[in-house]
């Protein structure tokens, strides 16, 4: 990324850094989001520099036209960027342009009026309860007892509590022994309380009992073979192995167990708003996508919850 920044004018590189700092500090953007935004803006600014045959300074962005924005979108599509990724990229660009228009006193309404492509939002594909249980059973067959217990414990937290894989792997010795509920820090640094089922606590307890590494307050709860932090890649491999053994589709990833948590709760009569809170979703519509809830069910929830429903 540093090489790309050096290709920008010093003023533009500084503006990009300040905008990213603002997004991180005032809008609680995650590190992952900031990294994605940096890539989005570098792609845009590098394109404009090539399109105009000059590295633009911040005030030069006042020359941007709708035609420039369309050319950028066409270039990204030609490079193979999908509609959903392009929509996110253009959203980041517009956010940056609004920020810089305020700072520099620019009229960027022509560029900001460009529309993002529409895309069909793909629905998650949760596992059935039987498939989820078979996946846990498969993980428990590892030839090393403590690794089998570890993998089973992590997957149980995903399916039984709806944790994101990153949230489960971020648990430390401070989270042990586990109470009936955990405070989880999720996307955007937002906290939520998540109930931990007895079966999940028992699974983690069995892992702690067998693990050759002592639980330490400031170290990861779930450890890799050499004692370091267990990685996302390692758990993805556990799911790949389970898919191969059980004949599950490629969509059976660690995240699919989180989808399954929400879908299975709803199928058993769980309240959609409660599920929204458990998942840490900012909007009910996101939970609707997770669980495949139709609009009629969603409106019923709104009517029941709204004071004028």
Q: Which residues are catalytic?
A: 164, 187, 255, 258, 281, 290
- Cα separation, 190 vs 42, whole angstroms: 28
Burial class (CB in 10 A: 0-12, 13-18, 19+), 152: buried
DSSP string covering the chain: -HHHHHHS-HHHHHHHHHHHHHHHHHS---HHHHHHHHHHHHHHHHHHHHHHTS---GGGGGG--HHHHHHHHHHHHHTT--HHHHHHHHHHHHHHHHHHHHHHT---HHHHTPPPPP-PPPPP-PPPHHHHHHHHHHHTT-SSHHHHHHHHHHHHHHHHH---HHHHHT-BGGG-S--SEEEEE-GGG-EEEEE--HHHHHHHHHHHHH-SS---TTSBSSB-TTSSBPPHHHHHHHHHHHHHHHT--TT-SHHHHHHHHHHHHHHTT--HHHHHHHHT-SSHHHHHHHHT--HHHHHHHHHHHSTT-
Closest listed residue to residue 227, CA positions, set 215, 217, 242: 215
Where on the phi/psi map is residue 273: left (φ > 0), alpha (ψ -120 to 50), or beta? alpha
* Pairing of β 181-185 and β 191-195: antiparallel
């Amino acid at each position: 990324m540093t090489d790309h920044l050096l290709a920008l004018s010093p003023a533009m590189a500084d503006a990009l850094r300040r905008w990213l700092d603002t997004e991180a500090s005032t809008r609680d953007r995650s590190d992952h989001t900031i990294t994605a935004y940096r890539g989005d803006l570098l792609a845009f600014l590098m394109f404009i520099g090539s399109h105009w045959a000059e590295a633009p300074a911040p005030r030069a962005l006042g020359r941007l036209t709708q035609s420039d924005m369309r050319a950028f979108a066409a270039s990204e599509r030609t490079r193979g960027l999908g509609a959903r990724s392009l929509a996110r990229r253009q959203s980041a660009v517009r956010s940056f342009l609004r920020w810089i228009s305020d700072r520099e006193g620019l009229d960027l309404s022509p560029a900001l009026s460009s529309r993002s492509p529409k895309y069909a939002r793909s629905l998650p594909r949760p596992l059935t309860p039987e498939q989820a249980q078979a996946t846990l059973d498969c993980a428990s067959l590892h030839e090393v007892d403590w690794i089998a217990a570890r993998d089973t414990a992590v997957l149980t937290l995903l399916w039984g509590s709806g944790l994101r894989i990153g949230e489960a792997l971020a648990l430390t010795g401070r989270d042990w022994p586990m109470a009936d509920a955990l405070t989880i820090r999720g996307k955007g640094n937002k906290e939520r309380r998540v109930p931990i089922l007895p079966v999940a606590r028992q699974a983690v307890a069995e892992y702690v009992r067998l693990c050759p590494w002592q639980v330490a307050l400031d170290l990861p709860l779930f450890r890799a073979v050499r004692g370091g932090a267990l990685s996302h890649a390692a758990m993805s491999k556990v799911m790949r192995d389970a898919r191969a053994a059980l004949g599950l589709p490629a969509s059976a990833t660690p995240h699919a167990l989180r989808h399954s948590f929400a879908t299975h709760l709803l199928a058993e009569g769980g309240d959609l708003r409660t599920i929204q809170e458990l998942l840490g979703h900012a909007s009910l519509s996101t939970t609707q996508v997770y669980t495949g809830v139709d609009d009629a069910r969603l409106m019923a929830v709104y009517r029941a919850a709204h004071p004028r429903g």
